Amino acid sequence: MSTICYEAEKFLQIYATMNLNPTDYASLFRYPEGWQTSMSQSFQSFLDNLRVANIRAYNARYDDADELPYSLLDFATPIPPYASEIEFYKSLRGLRYNLDEQDVDGCFQLLNHLIDHVGYSIISRLPVWESVHTW
């Protein structure tokens, strides 16, 4: 199994997608609806932690190479969100696979909850007969 160290653009694209409807994720981040400013800051902290966890997983797997330095994400950089929710879902699952259960301030568990939330959101919009087969 190999570990991919993702570029900052992937995390910024996840951030841009989450900011399209930040109140959809309020329950995951334990905020009541309407705190969009705080939600944005929570998203930034969460994605910075995911970036650090991804770098740690990469450094742990390839310890014979030069360690990659940790770097914070530049959220001022405009990156377009994912075109579809399925692309967003696949990106989150790929990221989880590459973290090797590295955790920084609970980001791995929160990522799992986010993946479940987005997956449920996709499936719940399908017709009943189709959603039963999807589960």
SS (H, E, C) the chain: CCCCCCCHHHHHHHHHHHCCCHHHHCCCCCCCCCCHHHHHHHHHHHHHHHHHHHHHHHHHHCCCCCCCCCCCCCCCCCCCCCCCHHHHHHHHHHHHHHCCCCCCCCHHHHHHHHHHHHHHHHHHCCCHHHHHHHC
What is the model's pLDDT at position 1?
56
- For the chain, give the mean pLDDT: 85
* Domain spans in the chain, listed from the N-terminal domain onward: 8-69+77-134
Q: Does residue 123 or residue 116 have the better pLDDT?
A: 116
The torsion defined by the Cα of 27, 84, 50 and 41, in degrees rounded to 10, comes to: -50
- Which is more confidently placed, 36 or 10? 10
pLDDT for the residue numbered 42: 87
Highest-confidence range of 2-6, 42-46, 101-105, by mean pLDDT?
42-46
**For position 17, what pLDDT does the model report?**
95
Instruction: Quote the tokens at residue 124.
Output: 């719940």
pLDDT band at 64 (very low <50, low <70, confident <90, very high): low
Does 34 score more than 60 pLDDT? Answer: no
